[in-house]
Chains A and B, each alone.
Chain A
């Protein structure tokens, strides 16, 4: 068996057997290096180099900031804000759910934490108000996927680490597609709500709305401050993440006063665990990527795809179909670490801007968080809504189709991703 065949075969078998992705990457790399008689000395070096990056410091920063904001009582206030403004519309709670996810996305860079935080408040409230449980869970799951698109975004940080692209620019490039994703989901929720006759709440007074807005203002301010700081060059993404931590601590302890030392320590423990999982993946993926590069695999994949067609639009379609398939089975960051560099080689050959390609690929892979068989956000929402996977997957289908349509808009209209960074002169 050739070392390259062994590399891929062992990786996929280990992955499907449930071996942690980081260890599956390590195992396949070990087997490759042993079969190729290259020794394992290179592994520690590549593993350490992969983790030793200043940009990666954003990850604990944004994970901790999101956790602290949630622990500080922000979730209830964001939900109240959404209810106050959208609750009176038919299907208003579903729209409040989407708007809450969009605001939460400006604090947290991950979808799973959003699904758990917003879902724990919104799903029971929607069920009590007469919404179907599968629909309530599905809206929460799909809405949470704006988390990694609206800045800050952990997958964008990974792309920046892999390629050296500006993380600040990647963040800003995700803003418009993220807002469009939110609008798409709110529209679909509204149409379904009208069709099924879901309830609408009491219209609240302007004073109530302003009070709810005041409650959520710190959460709304956070992304504004982060984007403002990045665009104006006041701080780098890493510094922005630490600024977000300090901001969250101040808001949690002194403004909302819901944060306690115990909650803070629990958030730190979660951050450590989450960061460890991601960085181990990055370290071992760096070894795997080194092997791929030394074997010329990215070039071979590019040549293989280009041999099918050299039509730019068809190739974008092919890449997206491949990624949708991968996203159904593989977690976002793992898929990015393994596939981003090889596919970027194809994208650049057909004249795609790397920033545009990154936004497209991240949107594509986060759609996979809501598709069975491996849709982590779907699992989280399913657990809270207490419905079967089939029920929630059926309810999520219209939203997933909407997101796929949006994905193709983003894929074929570069301006949707590139306009905002250009506007800010990035």
Chain B
């Protein structure tokens, strides 16, 4: 039940991020196409593209957290047998959870402050954009909580936890 609910939330996040990525590409494309045309380039494209990107990240956090795709140094983790590895994963999950919850709480004030500002080229309150920080922290915390449950089950069963992954340039 919990598992299918979380998968549904993950899917919603993926769909939102994909749609925003498509819009982002279209917006920058407008900028590229408009340049050689004998009409003034729309001034809003750069700012809107930035806003779209931070929201792509906000929704993308769900997948990146769930599949442990955040870059890490996993020498120690991968050296450990199943149970200690699951235990270390639980400690790491708890650290992520504490950090993101702390940052979520402190980001509320920041978002409220930005409500007084408006974006430069589009009539939108900056708080709508900076809310992405709250979405990021909430998504990471939520999916870390799910990872925590999975890791706890693995610790109890003594099965092998998913090795953490690295992605890099």
Minimum C-beta distance from B164 to chain A (A): 6
Option from A15, A109, A379 in Cβ contact (under 8 Å) with B169: A109
Residues of B within 8 A of A158 (CB): 169
Residues of A within 8 A of B133 (CB): 44, 47-48
B window 37-53: CB within 8 A of A: 46, 49-50, 53
Does B74 lie at the interface of the complex (its beta carbon under 8 Å from any beta carbon of A)?
yes
B window 78-111: CB within 8 A of A: 88, 91-92, 95-96, 99, 102-103, 106-107, 109-111
A69-77, A296-304, A369-377: which one contacts chain B?
A369-377
Does A125 lie at the interface of the complex (its beta carbon under 8 Å from any beta carbon of B)?
no
Does A53 lie at the interface of the complex (its beta carbon under 8 Å from any beta carbon of B)?
yes
Asked whether, in the complex, the Cβ of A277 is within 8 Å of the Cβ of B71, the reply is: yes
Total number of A residues with any Cβ neighbor in B under 8 Å: 74
Asked whether, in the complex, the Cβ of B91 is within 8 Å of the Cβ of A272, the reply is: no
Asked whether, in the complex, the Cβ of B167 is within 8 Å of the Cβ of A44, the reply is: no
Residues of A within 8 A of B67 (CB): 273
Q: Which of B96, B99, B133 has the most CB of A within 10 A?
A: B99
Asked whether, in the complex, the Cβ of B75 is within 8 Å of the Cβ of A54, the reply is: no
Does B149 lie at the interface of the complex (its beta carbon under 8 Å from any beta carbon of A)?
no
Q: In the bound complex, what is the Cα–Cα distance between A111 and B67 (angstroms)?
A: 21
Option from B21, B46, B107 in Cβ contact (under 8 Å) with A272: B21
Does A27 lie at the interface of the complex (its beta carbon under 8 Å from any beta carbon of B)?
yes
Q: Which of A158, A329, A373, A374 has the most CB of B within 10 A?
A: A374
Residues of B within 8 A of A56 (CB): 53
Q: In the bound complex, what is the Cα–Cα distance between A57 and B29 (angstroms)?
A: 12
Does B69 lie at the interface of the complex (its beta carbon under 8 Å from any beta carbon of A)?
yes
Does B156 lie at the interface of the complex (its beta carbon under 8 Å from any beta carbon of A)?
no
Residues of A within 8 A of B107 (CB): 43-44
Minimum C-beta distance from A61 to chain B (A): 8
Q: List 9 interface pairs A-B (beta carbons < 8 Å), by A numbering.
A: A27-B95, A61-B25, A110-B168, A268-B18, A271-B21, A272-B14, A275-B56, A331-B166, A374-B75
A window 237-279: CB within 8 A of B: 238-239, 242-243, 245-246, 265, 268-269, 271-279
Residues of B within 8 A of A61 (CB): 25, 28
Asked whether, in the complex, the Cβ of A265 is within 8 Å of the Cβ of B106, the reply is: no
The residue on A at minimum CB distance from B108 is A44
Q: In the bound complex, what is the Cα–Cα distance between A333 and B57 (angstroms)?
A: 17
Q: In the bound complex, what is the Cα–Cα distance between A183 and B41 (angstroms)?
A: 43
Asked whether, in the complex, the Cβ of B49 is within 8 Å of the Cβ of A54, the reply is: yes
The residue on A at minimum CB distance from B89 is A18
Q: In the bound complex, what is the Cα–Cα distance between A154 and B92 (angstroms)?
A: 28
Residues of A within 8 A of B99 (CB): 23, 26-27, 30
Does B142 lie at the interface of the complex (its beta carbon under 8 Å from any beta carbon of A)?
no
Minimum C-beta distance from B95 to chain A (A): 6
Q: In the bound complex, what is the Cα–Cα distance between A331 and B167 (angstroms)?
A: 8
B window 143-169: CB within 8 A of A: 164, 166-169
Residues of B within 8 A of A18 (CB): 72-77, 88, 92, 164
Does A52 lie at the interface of the complex (its beta carbon under 8 Å from any beta carbon of B)?
yes
A window 64-117: CB within 8 A of B: 64, 109-112
Q: Which of A30, A40, A41, A48 has the most CB of B within 10 A?
A: A48
Minimum C-beta distance from A18 to chain B (A): 4
Contact string against A for B residues 8-24, beta-carbon threshold 8 Å, 1 for contact and 0 otherwise: 00000010011001101
Does A17 lie at the interface of the complex (its beta carbon under 8 Å from any beta carbon of B)?
yes
Residues of B within 8 A of A384 (CB): none
Minimum C-beta distance from A380 to chain B (A): 9
Asked whether, in the complex, the Cβ of A155 is within 8 Å of the Cβ of B167, the reply is: no
Asked whether, in the complex, the Cβ of A60 is within 8 Å of the Cβ of B21, the reply is: yes
Q: In the bound complex, what is the Cα–Cα distance between A66 and B73 (angstroms)?
A: 25
Does A19 lie at the interface of the complex (its beta carbon under 8 Å from any beta carbon of B)?
yes
B window 130-147: CB within 8 A of A: 130, 132-133, 136
Q: In the bound complex, what is the Cα–Cα distance between A48 and B99 (angstroms)?
A: 16
Option from A48, A243, A281, A366 in Cβ contact (under 8 Å) with B71: A281
Given A16-B73, A110-B168, A373-B75, A280-B136 contact (CB < 8 Å) = yes
Q: In the bound complex, what is the Cα–Cα distance between A346 and B22 (angstroms)?
A: 42
Option from B29, B75, B92, B168 in Cβ contact (under 8 Å) with A369: B168
The residue on A at minimum CB distance from B166 is A376
Asked whether, in the complex, the Cβ of B103 is within 8 Å of the Cβ of A239, the reply is: no
Asked whether, in the complex, the Cβ of B76 is within 8 Å of the Cβ of A17, the reply is: yes
Residues of B within 8 A of A27 (CB): 95, 99
Q: Which of A16, A41, A239, A273 has the most CB of B within 10 A?
A: A273
Q: In the bound complex, what is the Cα–Cα distance between A330 and B69 (angstroms)?
A: 16
Does B54 lie at the interface of the complex (its beta carbon under 8 Å from any beta carbon of A)?
yes
Does A130 lie at the interface of the complex (its beta carbon under 8 Å from any beta carbon of B)?
no
Option from B18, B29, B60, B92 in Cβ contact (under 8 Å) with A276: B60
Q: In the bound complex, what is the Cα–Cα distance between A14 and B96 (angstroms)?
A: 11
Q: In the bound complex, what is the Cα–Cα distance between A276 and B69 (angstroms)?
A: 9
